[in-house]
A = this chain, B = another copy of it.
Amino acid sequence: MSTIALDAMGGDNGVAAAVRAAAAVSLAQDTGVLLVGDRAAIDAELRRTRYDASYLSIHHASQAIGMAESPRAALQAKPDASLLVGARLVAEGAADGLVSAGNTGAAILACATYFKTIPGVPRTALAAVIPTERRRGPHDDPFSLILDVGATLDASADALVAFAHMGSAYASRISRNARPRVALLSNGEEAHKGPPAVVEAHRRLAADARINFIGNVEGVDLPRGTADVVVTSGFTGNVVLKMIEGISDTVMDMARAANRSRLAWKLGLYMLRGGILHLRNVTDWQQYGGAPILGFDHPFIKAHGRSSDRAIQNAIKVAAKAARSNLCAEIASTLAGKGGLTG
């Protein structure tokens, strides 16, 4: 059985959402959860919910990092923060992976403090799922994975190639898609299109039989879902991800405005409510399972700050799946036998 450490103090919905998520996971009796945070607050929540004590334990941590705190300063000021303690427990072997809905920057730094970067990984990557028209996998997921959406403002060819391998390994394990289609995001489909690092990464990936590389995709392919895994620098990935967030906000605003403005539109929206709900589920994609940080020797899943208990539950399941399938070891062995990586 794998055990996942859960930062019980992170996220907009606080300790209540984390504890309810952990309790629900414990009842399924296939994954252990180690709640890390204020024991009194956790106990108080646990008294209100049903759980299986043999699949749930608590590790007390006296401090917590707020969503808006400056990551570096917060970690220095709070050595007993639940996030830091959770990362340490995983590094020490007390749990097999970490989940947090808290401060993203602090989470990355906490991992960097206690986890090791896998040899051959020039930069760790924060991945995210984006909604797509095409559905994929056994659950008909309307998502593809994009990485990096984190800190690599200007990714080298080495970094892009490593992102491609890490994203492919993650998608094949988590989405049960044996040969995920991997693509580089560029300003044209041709192999010579893009900045030098993209052109060089294209050349190497095209020669790499271990990966199902389909070449470059363009912006137009992102909503279509042409690729299962889209590889780009953190700068472009960040712009893309936030743009989708903005568009889904705008669509919801327009629907609300239409609802107020005309009776016919109000009726029309009522009749379309099934479709609109579907759209809202798709655009509320952040609720699905969370975003992995790839490149460390332990799995870490960042649940969205707005995560409900159900979303945190999904993130725990994803982390457990990553741990059970030896995702990190697989990435390490792929990058160690690196025929295609430096050629």
Residues of A within 8 A of B (CB): 133, 153-154, 185-187, 194-195, 218-224, 234-236, 238-247, 249-250, 253-254, 258, 262, 264-265, 267-272, 274-275, 279
Chain B residues near A258 (CB, 8 Å)?
272, 275
Sorted from nearest, which 4 A-B pairs have the closest CB atoms? A268-B271, A219-B242, A219-B243, A268-B272
Cα–Cα, bound, A183→B43 (Å): 49
- Contact A187:B238 (CB < 8 A) given known A153-B195, A264-B271, A272-B269: yes
Can you name the residue of chain B whose Cβ is closest to the Cβ of A263? B271
B268 touches A239 (CB 8 A): no
Chain B residues near A185 (CB, 8 Å)?
239
**A341: min CB distance to chain B, Å:** 24
Cα–Cα, bound, A75→B267 (Å): 56
B242 touches A239 (CB 8 A): no
- How many copies of this kind of chain does the complex include? 2
B269 touches A265 (CB 8 A): no
Main secondary structure of the interface of A (DSSP, over half): helix
**A69: min CB distance to chain B, Å:** 15
User: Assuming A154-B195, A247-B247, A268-B270, what are 20 further A-B pairs, CB within 8 angstroms?
Assistant: A153-B187, A153-B194, A186-B235, A187-B239, A219-B241, A219-B246, A220-B242, A220-B243, A223-B250, A224-B246, A224-B250, A236-B239, A239-B240, A240-B240, A258-B275, A262-B274, A264-B274, A268-B268, A268-B275, A272-B272
Q: Looking at the complex, which one of B186, B219, B264, B271 makes contact with A240 (CB distance below 8 Å)?
A: B219
- Contact A246:B275 (CB < 8 A) given known A235-B187, A239-B185: no
A218 touches B240 (CB 8 A): no
Chain B residues near A269 (CB, 8 Å)?
268, 272
Cα–Cα, bound, A262→B253 (Å): 25
B271 touches A249 (CB 8 A): no
B221 touches A246 (CB 8 A): yes
**A150: min CB distance to chain B, Å:** 9
